[in-house]
Structures are given as C-alpha cells and as structure tokens.
Amino acid sequence: MQLPLLSVRRPWHFAFGTLLAWPGLAAAQDLTVYTYSSFISEWGPGPIAEELFEAQCDCDLEFVGVDDGVALLSRLRLEGGSSPADVVLGLDLNLVAEAIADRIVVPHGLELPPLDLPIEWTDEYFVPYDWGNFAFVYDTEALEFPPSSLRDLVENSDVEILIQDPRTSTPGLGLLLWLRQVYGEAAPGAWAQLQPRIVAVTSGWSEAYGMFLEGEAPMVLSYTTSPAYHRIAEQVDRYAAGEFSEGHYTQVEVAGISSTSDNPELAGEFLMFLLSPEFQAAIPTTNWMYPVRLPPEGLPDGFTPVPESAALLYPSETVRDNRQAWIDEWLTAMSR
C-alpha cells in the first residue's frame, strides 16, 4: 500500500531516480498518463489498458485522473513546464489546435494505420483513439415525447436537462459548439432560453450522468452510444438517445505526447498501443464510444450502429480562436 502523505513526489522521484539510474540498478521505467476520471474508473478502459500495455512494455503505467477533458488541458497549462505527464489522453478534436498552440504536446512522429473515422486524420501531434456523437440521452419512462431537434429542445420543449460545463468538460464544450452550429450568432439567446430548464451544470460527464440515473432530470447530455451501455452491460432497455434533425456534433478523442515527458519514446509506444486491435476492440464496451479501427467482426451485438449521416464539426483552429469568447458569451447568457 502506497501512502504518499505529503506529496513531495518530484524531489523523491529525483532522489530515487538518480539512485536507480546507477548502472546495474536500472528498473522498469515509468509512464504517467493524464486522463479524465471516467477513463480510469473500474468499468472504464483504464484497467484494461494498464494490464495490456504493462504486459508488453516492461514499464509501470500510472494514470492520473482529472475531472474531464477540458479541465485536463487547464491542469496541464497550470502545471506548465513542471508537469509529470508523459501522455495526455482525453482531449478532443476541439482542443487540438489550442493544445498545440500552448505547446502542451510534441509531434508524435508515428506512422498511423488506416483509421475508420468520419473525417480524414492528418494531425502530427495527436493520435485519435475513439469517437462518438453527442446526444441527449433520456429516460423513456420519464419522457414520452423527446424533442426532435436541438431547436425543438430550446424553443418548444419544457423538458429539464443536465449538462456539463464547457469550461471543464468536453461534452459541455461540444454542446456549446453544437448550439453555435445550429444558431450561429443567435446562440447566446438560445442559451438564455434554455437556461431555466437546466437543472445543473456539472464539471464532468460522470457527475451529470450519475445525477441523471438517480432521476434528478429526465434528460442528460451524453452520447448516441450511451444507451448501448444499459442494453449490453445491464440488460436494461429504458434509456434512449434523442435523434436531432440538425445532425449531431461529433467528438474525436485524442492522445498526445506531453512536451514535458522525459520518455517520449515510451509515450509514442503507448500511443501506438491505443490503436492496437486488442485495445480498440475493448473501446466499445468500456468507454462506450466507436473505435477508430473497427474490429473485423464488427461492433458488439446491441451496440449503436455507426451513423451514416454527415456530422457537425468545427475545425479545431476555429475553436482555438473563439473558445474564450464563446465561453464568456455563454457565462453571460446563463447569468441573465
């Protein structure tokens, strides 16, 4: 049992590191992966990744969980040059340009296998490991007629919802962009219209989804693939994802090598591991997202089929240039 009472990790790391680096004393290397908290929960993909990767790398893989994807970026920014992270896992496409501009990551220099993504992937810094479409998931026993579009939800519906905070959570940011895609410059007005029906804005996806399952609201911002979890893991058919006629905003989740990593080679190996058939096969039923490399036998039975319609998506540079302004607009609109 490890009891780091007062976390003075770095000095100790340094002291031990010097000792262990002595010839003949060399031990397994460490890889620190920063990710969002639901990734490393007991039912998430974290434990499987740790088991599979440690079996092949002769290293100690350590996950550090931070609320949610956007909070992850803030955390790395706060830590600056002293971050112990080797790998950053769980930012999404929306944050890619910003992370690169902030020099959070370094180019991976890897040759990626062909990917089953709805978009073409050319980024030199990040490796995508799964993707999905945001959706409002609802409880069919509490809500008989779900809204048929985002406009319907904003303008005509009286359903109460749970959402995530765009300042901390990638789904929260996704909804901000989704609304922007649909309403354009009129988005702040739409937020003000929606505001009275937002039961809570949580800092991460897990919080909102937990509240939804406890019945705090009949509808929650999540993914089109979330009901598959209840169907497959729980044999419960009660939850469904609302299909919105404007189309759904797409999320591509990515991982990259931290610019503070002292072992970028091992970090690169981990990124390639994320694309391995074994780990990709585990994605649908652990992270409940689409893998970026479809297994030859296809998705598991009962899983939400890969959507055919085109997805809504902003170029990551647009998000980089506008995120702060749009979030300020959101804060103001919510404060009316």
Task: Please name the residues in contact with 180: beta carbons below 8 A apart, sequence gap of 6 or more.
Answer: 187, 314, 326
117 interacts with other proteins by CB under 8 A: no
Q: Pairing mode, if any, of strands 59-66 and 29-36?
A: parallel
> Could you give the CA distance from residue 71 to residue 77 in angstroms, rounded to a whole number?
10
| Closest CB to other proteins among residues 102, 152 | 102
Among 46, 204, 284, 291, binds other proteins (CB under 8 A): 204
- Residue range at the interface with other proteins (CB under 8 A); choices 160-168, 236-244, 278-286, 301-309: 160-168
Residues 286-325 that bind other proteins (CB under 8 A): 324
Q: Chain-centre distance of CA 277, in angstroms?
A: 20
Give the number of residues in contact with other proteins, rule: CB under 8 A.
Answer: 51
DSSP conformational letter for 311? P
Among 5, 19, 25, 310, binds other proteins (CB under 8 A): 5
Shortest CA distance to 158 belongs to which of 211, 218, 207? 218
Among 58, 234, 265, 328, binds other proteins (CB under 8 A): 328
| Closest CB to other proteins among residues 61, 163 | 163
215 interacts with other proteins by CB under 8 A: yes
Residues 84-103 that bind other proteins (CB under 8 A): 84
One-character DSSP codes across 100-141:
HHTT-EE-----PPP---SS----SSEEEEEEEEEEEEEETT
Among 201, 220, 299, 319, binds other proteins (CB under 8 A): 201
Shortest CA distance to 197 belongs to which of 220, 226, 223? 220
Residues 44-83 that bind other proteins (CB under 8 A): 64-65, 70-71, 74-75, 77-80, 82-83
335 interacts with other proteins by CB under 8 A: yes
- Give the C-alpha distances (Å, rounded to integers) separating 265 from 14, 165, 188, 269: 20, 35, 45, 6
Q: Residue 323 corresponds to which amino acid?
A: R
**Site for other proteins, rule CB under 8 A:** 1-10, 64-65, 70-71, 74-75, 77-80, 82-84, 163, 165, 167-168, 198-204, 206-207, 210-211, 213-217, 324, 327-328, 330-332, 334-335
